[in-house]
Chain A
């Protein structure tokens, strides 16, 4: 993505909101929708064009979980580490996924395929340990099922 293209895109989003500082959250939402994350260069551009301090823009960008400052993968993996899942070996499942994809929680694979996150209880403890990929629930996970499961997503 060229710096110039990005600047133009961000400008046009800002223009949609008449460059109004009060619309910062909506502006960031649109940028996130465009790139699937908030590139740092975009935050700098927003700060300069709106005349809003960079620290403020960053503060808002990190406050909402919906925003991500790193590129996100096509598929979001959530590993439940709630108590019920935990006692049934969720940590080992998580470690297996980490090894398989070579990333830590919060990170995205190089090929931008997967982003790995953890959650605390998703409300189906009876199924634990639970892994959710792209909204699909996979219950009673086992370490030796991880590889096959991931291969289903292309």
Chain B
């Protein structure tokens, strides 16, 4: 198995902050809005360098989404920043009517997604956001895997016309995407090639899946690891090409099983190529306070859970 080099460790939200700052320098149509979480979203650099293009809206996310859509009418490229919970559930109707249905070029950038927000607990640990956003027509949904990829995705979506949901997080995690990699919306990254099982992951679970592949390799199992950073539109070809070899799939995500990446992959399989699938994700429960590491263990979205799912799904092939 190829060794995946760790290039450092950083939080994905900082990748967003760096990407946004770069956009501030290179694209004068980009504007940013934040609902009282500038520091948490790492938007300070953009704000300081472009004060006239930065809008502090206060704790008023509904107004922020509406303002973003209005800015987009006249040709601006608005990036909204707040926690994933307040970027989606709190403002679903505003996004639905004023951004998705109205097809406005708004980039909804959501940090602190999932359980790895940690100690703040379940009120803030949204695990339904991917599902809500992918259900909206016209919405593109992107969940980058590490710091570099989040930065690259942030820059890429500015050049893409249409509403985007960009989801990232708070914890410091390994960086493995090269800093000069090209981010292509809707084109999955094959991180490790393998023949016995396909592991399709997004966000923080991509690194966990890489770790799982190492453990599986030690047991003589060849796992293919796919970084499915774009949940919608899903790279169906990457899924089908891989399962043609491996004949089974594990999906892994920091999200509810209902409505997440796993569901999207299952749709592709049921339509095109029936094969066993196992799911790593949160199973119909709210989270709680704890460290990110503790929560990933307790809610079964950690490396051993990916390994166990792979072993189980391989067995089901026979």
Specify whether A and B are partners: no
